Amino acid sequence: MIETLIRFFSLGDANVRFVLLGSLLIGSTGGLLGAFGVLRQRSLVGDALAHAALPGVALAFMWTGSKSLPVLLLGATATGVLGVLCMQFITQYTRLKSDAAIGVVLSVFFGAGIVLLTHIQRSSAGNQSGLDKFLFGQAASLVDDDLRVMSLMALLIMAAVALLYKEFKGLIFDPGFMQAIGFAVRWVDLALMGLIVLTVMVGLQAVGVVLIAAMLITPAVAARFWTERLHTMVWLAAFFGGLSGVLGTFISAMAPRIPTGPVMVLVATGIFTLSALVAPNRGALARWRRHRANIRREQQQHILRAFVELAEHRQGQEVFEPATLAAELQWSTHATTAKLKWLGGRNLVERQDGGWHLTAAGRQEGYFVVKSHRLWEHYLYYREILAADHVDRPADEVEHLLTPQIIERLEHILRQERGINVDQMGNIHQTASGYRAGGRDD
């Protein structure tokens, strides 16, 4: 293992250099174009074009008898472009949607490719062809000439993306505006599809038609978890794709019998899984933390509101036992006591004579929640949105969302239109709330 590590990191072995650079090119270009494809909702177009390239590889070999990568890729590009045109024709001149067009092109072209490959394998030159590597990929077969072709195509793709970046951005987010200012949206879309064809060609030999779609889609969707900005997503997708290529090559070098292409896909999937879990804003853990924080905030405001309304019902009393608060909230005494201790740690309530009372900060927030609840009740009622006996539960849901700006607007509406003294409002329904978290009164 130590010798393998030294051979990999020293890059002294030509085969390691070829596979590493090839995998890096495949991953980075795949992520780069995949970002646009995913946002354009064309995630599976790459898969369809990869399958459409297979008959082109077979036909190029049958016509020329050459296994040269430029010749095979030229044939693959030709049928890939034909696949793009077929999808455009199907969606434009038939009633089929884009997903159906992708399915038709994928299945028909892939079936034709398998038939042609079978014919080649049964011919006299079949044993020497080795074209089956285009199905599942064989990164270890990359040579210096192959890398030159792949590098040239990758540079062409990157240059085209740099030149057409603004057009692609408009195509993704506002094609109607682009058309209004004179751009031919159809041709911009065709240019994007053409670049995806070239990207598929870059990775066809190393990853294969079956897995190349994963290198287009997975790094891009992983990058989407980390940002809301297009240029950041494009760079992140290219980085994640390149990282998948490098790590896939490393793992394959450590276990020589494991093919590089599938390992690259698995590494990309691992990056996607990690992103889906720990991304700061869109990840599952971040969403869980926000959900938990919202629940805690609602419970906190329910308890503070209960203090204020109990003090109104029992004039002069400010200290309440957990059992009294639990009855008002319709919670268990144990849960209410636990929440009171938690609020005590936040300096919103304090213990006193076996009970609890609001601190200054707790009283201020409690009054704000009560006012928010009652303002919304009055608004729903006086705008004739709901009857008086139906406004309580919707107000329970909305009181946690009202900002000071909304409160000010509601006060203005009720004061000017209805002459209501917003500083002395009671519950319209004159019943206990129960502080229900969801639903509506019947």
Per-residue pLDDT tens digits for 164-192: 999 999 999 988 888 888 888 888 888 88
- Please list the residues that pair with 106 across neighbouring strands: none
Fold match, 14-280 / 283-442: no
pLDDT digits (tens, 9 = 90+) for 126-165: 555 566 667 666 666 677 777 888 888 889 999 999 999 9
Q: What is the CATH number of domain 14-280?
A: 1.10.3470.10
Per-residue confidence (pLDDT) for residue 336, from 0 to 100: 92
pTM of the complete model: 0.78
Cα distances (Å, whole numbers) of residue 419 to 157, 415, 422, 438: 67, 5, 9, 31
- Find out whether 429 and 389 touch, Cβ atoms under 8 Å: yes
pLDDT tens-digit series, residues 43-85: 778 778 888 888 888 888 888 877 777 888 888 888 888 988 8
> Domain 283-442's class?
mainly alpha
Q: Are 305 and 370 in contact (CB under 8 A)?
A: yes
358 φ, ψ to 5°? Answer: -75, 140
Closest Cα partner for 435 from 400, 384, 389, 385? 400
- What contacts 24+ positions apart, CB below 8 Å, involve 337-340? 339/299, 339/300, 339/303, 340/303
Residue among 390, 399, 395 nearest 377 (CA)? 395
Domains in the chain: boundaries? 14-280, 283-442
Q: Give me the residues of the chain with pLDDT under 70, please.
A: 1-15, 124-133, 135-141, 210, 256, 429-442
What's the distance, CA 21 to chain centroid?
28
AA letter at 361: A
Reading phi first (left if > 0) and then psi (alpha if -120 to 50, else beta), residue 208 is in left
pLDDT of residue 437: 46
